[in-house]
Structure 1
Amino acid sequence: MIVWKDEHVTLFRSVLYETISSVIVTEDCVIVVDPCWLPHEVEEIKQYVETVKENRPLYLLFTHSDYDHIIGYGAFPEAKVIASASFANKKLEEKEAIVEEIKAFDDEYYITRNYNIVYPKVDLPIKSEEESLLLGNTTLTFFQAPGHNDDGMFTLIQPLGILIAGDYFSDIEFPYIYFNSKRYEESILKLDYMLNNYRIKILVTGHGNPTRHVSNMKKRQQDSLQYIEQMRKWVREENEEEIKRIIAGCRFPRNMKKSHQQNKRLFQRELGTETT
């Protein structure tokens, strides 16, 4: 599963949706980000953590609450959990619905796991913008990032210069917008502030490939902004041909067209052009 490894960062890629789980090792702690998907994949991540952990405290960092990103939670019962306050404070029925998505996935493919499927209990909820958590000489700084869903969060890990972006800035996906397109724009525009005020050496996205190049980070940002701008224009004008053309050439068209259509319906709702 390992697709990237340096002194501090190891990235594991699932065979499903090129989903990335990260293990970050500092002198102060070990941080596991979004462990997923399949049981043997979660086990591989867990075994790797056991080889590098030594006496360091273990933290689980969740970028957002989509079920594919929390599916490995139960495999790390000793870890303290970090997530946004919005993630922690979801209503009980919302948490139950997310857990049901995991169970439905496992049932569909006859999957069994050696840990319980439950919604993560958050030990360290992040409530504010640019809030920092000090773990010895390691500093985690958080930025609220709603848009893709309602509880996303960016995390900067210093002094290593790691930006954990969740389901933003992917090099294989256009914006998947489940919550709000304007909030999505506001979230990805925070990259400018982070680049101006922090040293970012690597951006890790939830699906696809990381990047060390600022120019590529900015390109991904601009591509996402352009997608949203074009979708607003063509949905407002009900131009189906142009709506289809926006994702021409996407890598996995049979599946991605479904997400594009979901986005179209979201823009219709936001613009008040939805028809019954």
Structure 2
Amino acid sequence: MIQYKSRNLTVFQSSLYMTTSAIIHTDEVIIMTDPNWLPNEVERIRNYVNSIKGDKQLYIIYTHSDYDHVIGSGAFPDAKVIATEELKNSSQKGEIVKKIHAFDQGYYLHRNYEPEYPSVDIAVANDGETLNLGTISLTFYKAPGHTKDGLFTVIEPYGIFLTGDYLSDIEFPFIFSSYKDYIKTMKKAEEILRIHNIKVHVPGHGTTTEEPTEIRNRIDFSKFYLKELKKDGEALENLCLKKYPFYEGMKNIHFDNIKMANNGEKI
């Protein structure tokens, strides 16, 4: 389904985990994030892109390498791929593709393309790197913590903030690589709000928002949640139970987060 649509931004939402794929379209280029999940959903996204593409170059930003976010790789062979150098140089490429095949096998899913690990054309090495594409400018920031290879992107002059699996309104922080890095990434998100005129926030899971207060609240709650993990108490769990309608399906990750915050960097 289409979750959000404006003049230059269309956000598709999967039936699974409210996972999003953002499509930014200008007179010169098309930029997309993380085409996903189910075969018919990827096909719908591909058909939409083809309907507006013409002779424009398609760029795909992979926000990180979790298999659900790269599962559409292979459906867009002519795209130029943008991701972090960590995603490009990952030692887990084979394992991630195996997870995609295991998912499809488990649900008897056929795809009309062969899933593959993204082949990165433009690798982001440092915060603040920019890419100018016609009338728009992309500014990139490394975003480790959820995974090692996360990427934030700001697209100007539209003020679009693409955050991958951070700052969701339906998920508390999922810490899969580093608690300390996650804290630093939230500080980086604050700085991005300070130096860029952010008008729209698109999370990897959850709802796109144009509300400045809501964007600020998402950062503030993530910071609060990370701090409260150190207390290892029931109050935070009760708060998450009230705040997140799908908490029961995520609570094991919450308990893993507590271990990550209190017992070192890796579980």
TM-score, normalised by the number of residues in structure 1: 0.92
Alignment of structure 1 residues 1-276 onto 2, 5 Å: 1-91=1-91, 94-234=92-232, 239=233, 241-242=234-235, 244-249=237-242, 250-270=244-264
Q: Secondary structure at the match of 2:22?
A: strand
Please tell me whether the aligned partners of residues 227 and 246 of structure 1 are also in contact (alpha carbons under 8 angstroms).
no
Whether the 8 Å contact between 1:230 and 1:246 is mirrored in structure 2 is no
TM-score by length of 2: 0.96
2:161–2:202 Cα contact (<8 Å) kept: yes
Contact 1:4 1:11 in 2 (8 A): yes
In 1: Cα distance, 2:33 partner to 2:174 partner:
20
For the pair shown, which has the larger CA radius of gyration, 1 or 2? Answer: 1
User: Which AA in structure 1 matches 2:133?
Assistant: L
In 1: Cα distance, 2:236 partner to 2:102 partner: 32
Distance 2:258 2:113 in 1: 38
The alignment partner of 1:37 has SS state of: coil
The AA in structure 1 aligned to 2:24 is I
Deviation, structure 1 residue 34: 0.4
The offset of 1:248, in angstroms, is 2.3
Percent of residue pairs identical: 42
Aligned length: 266
Q: CA RMSD in A?
A: 1.5
Q: Which secondary structure state, in structure 2, belongs to the residue aligned with residue 75 of structure 1? A: coil
Amino acid at match of 1:6: S
> Following TM superposition, by how much is the alpha carbon of 1:137 offset from its aligned partner in structure 2, in angstroms?
1.9
Corresponding residue SS for 1:155: strand
Query: Any idea what SS the aligned residue of 1:83 has?
Result: strand
How far 1:160 sits from its partner (Å)? 1.2
CA offsets, 1:224-268, max 9 Å, x none?
11111111122xxxx4x3463342223113311121122123224
Gaps of 5+ in 1: none
Unaligned runs of 5+ in 2: none
